[in-house]
Structures are given as structure tokens and as C-alpha cells.
């Protein structure tokens, strides 16, 4: 999987990281020329070397993959894609089932509420009818008492 160039640029990247760390601590240890040995000069030299070596490592690493390995990687990607689609489908089915269950529960609750309201209306109607019957009975008793009093008054007058 790794070619010689990939290995060399990877090695250069590691050396650039080490030189950058040492140069930031003691710039004189990694810069051997010039009068100015500063941390800024260390960063100016070794940071581009680090980035370029990383990029070239990536470029040569991609070219070093043989067709069988590329086919295996592609197969793995397609399997992951199919698995992800399957999981999404299962998730959507689960959400759909939950929505159906929730809808059934809401329908059941609405039906129970309707039944309770209906029972309450029937109870109120029954109480109203009883009150009307009691009122009629009271009026009937009152009229009977009035008639009895009238009869008594008539009997007393005669």
C-alpha cells in the first residue's frame, strides 16, 4: 500500500515536525546559517516543508493503491451505504409505527371523552327529567291540597 515515495515524504513530515518543535524551543539548534536565528525563521522554513510533505504523502499514497484494494474499499463503501439506507428505512418505519400508535391512542382517548360527555349529558337529562317529575308531582299535590281546602271551605260555608 505504501510506495517508496510515500514513505520518504512521510519520513520528511515526521522530521519537519521534530525540527519545528526543537526550533521553537532553541532556534540555533536547527538553523545553521545566517546571523538571525529566530523562532519566526524556524516557522517560516519548517511549516511550509511540513505542509508540502503532508500533501505529497497524500498524493503518492492514493496512487499506490492497487485495483484489488480499491475494489475492496469500494465494496465496503457500498455496503456501508446500503446499511445506512436500511437503518434509515427501519427508523422511518419505526417512526411511522409510533405515529400510528399515537393516532390510535388519541382516537381512543377522543372516543372515551365522547362517551364520557354523552354519559354526562344523559345523566343531566335524567336529572332534569326527575326534577320535572318532582315539580309536576309537587304541583299536583299543591292543586290537590288547594282543591281539598276549597272543598273544606265549601263544606264549612254550607
Q: Using one digit for the tens of pLDDT, what is the confidence trace for 97-144?
A: 999 999 999 999 999 999 999 999 999 999 999 999 999 999 999 999
49 and 7 belong to one structural domain:
yes
37 and 86 belong to one structural domain:
no
Cα–Cα nearest to 15, from 64, 62, 41, 49: 49
Residue range(s) defining the domain that contains residue 100: 66-158
Of 43, 64, 85, which residue constitutes the final position of a domain?
Answer: 64
Of 49, 64, 79, which residue constitutes the final position of a domain?
Answer: 64
Burial class (CB in 10 A: 0-12, 13-18, 19+), 57: buried
Q: Using one digit for the tens of pLDDT, what is the confidence trace for 16-70?
A: 999 999 999 998 888 878 778 888 888 988 899 999 998 888 887 766 567 788 8
Q: How many domains does the chain have?
A: 2
To the question of pTM greater than 0.85 for the whole model, the response is no
Amino acid at each position: 500500500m505504501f510506495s517508496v515515495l510515500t514513505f520518504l515524504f512521510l519520513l520528511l513530515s515526521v522530521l519537519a515536525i521534530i525540527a519545528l518543535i526543537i526550533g521553537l524551543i532553541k532556534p540555533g539548534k536547527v538553523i545553521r546559517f545566517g546571523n538571525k536565528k529566530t523562532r519566526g525563521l524556524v516557522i517560516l522554513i519548517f511549516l511550509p516543508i511540513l505542509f508540502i510533505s503532508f500533501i505529497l504523502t497524500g498524493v503518492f499514497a492514493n496512487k499506490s493503491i492497487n485495483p484489488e484494494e480499491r475494489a475492496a474499499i469500494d465494496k465496503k463503501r457500498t455496503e456501508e451505504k446500503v446499511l445506512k439506507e436500511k437503518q434509515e428505512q427501519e427508523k422511518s418505519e419505526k417512526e411511522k409505527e409510533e405515529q400510528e400508535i399515537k393516532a390510535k391512542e388519541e382516537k381512543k382517548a377522543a372516543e372515551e371523552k365522547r362517551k364520557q360527555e354523552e354519559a354526562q349529558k344523559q345523566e343531566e337529562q335524567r336529572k332534569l327529567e326527575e326534577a320535572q317529575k318532582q315539580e309536576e308531582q309537587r304541583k299536583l299535590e299543591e292543586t290537590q291540597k288547594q282543591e281539598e281546602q276549597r272543598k273544606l271551605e265549601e263544606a264549612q260555608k254550607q
